[in-house]
Amino acid sequence: MTSDDTKKVVDMLNDAYARDHVFVYNFIVRNTANCNKDLAENSKINVWEDVMIDGEYLTSGIGLINSVLGILELNKIGLQFSDEKDSQGRVKFIGFYCKE
């Protein structure tokens, strides 16, 4: 497998995002779930190391996707945000990219 394979995953995610940006953003990026310490300490699983809620770690859809890519020794997928900020100072999620 090559980084071209990661690009195929990125292309699929961006295509899905173009078709239904609300679903893809909420399901893959925004939704997080608590996970226990045992899962968080597994070096193959991507979790948010700096955020804990109720003593538990968090992961997301993109975290699990990147975990699979890591096992396959492929580049991970990054989240792309706009440079511009809205009136409340927030940036906008605009898609996925292949990390080098």
- Chain segment 31-66, per-residue pLDDT in tens: 888 888 888 888 888 887 666 777 778 888 999 999
pLDDT at 45: 85
DSSP-assigned beta bridge partners for residue 96? 79
Q: Of 20, 12, 53, 15, which Cα lies nearest the Cα of 35?
A: 53
- Chain segment 60-88, per-residue pLDDT in tens: 899 999 999 999 999 999 999 999 998 99
pLDDT at 14: 97
**What is the DSSP track for 44-80?**
TS--EEEEEETTEEEEEHHHHHHHHHHHTT-PPEEEE
Apex 94 CA angle, 18 and 74, nearest 5: 90
Q: Return the domain boundaries, the chain.
A: 3-98
**Amino acid at residue number 16:** A
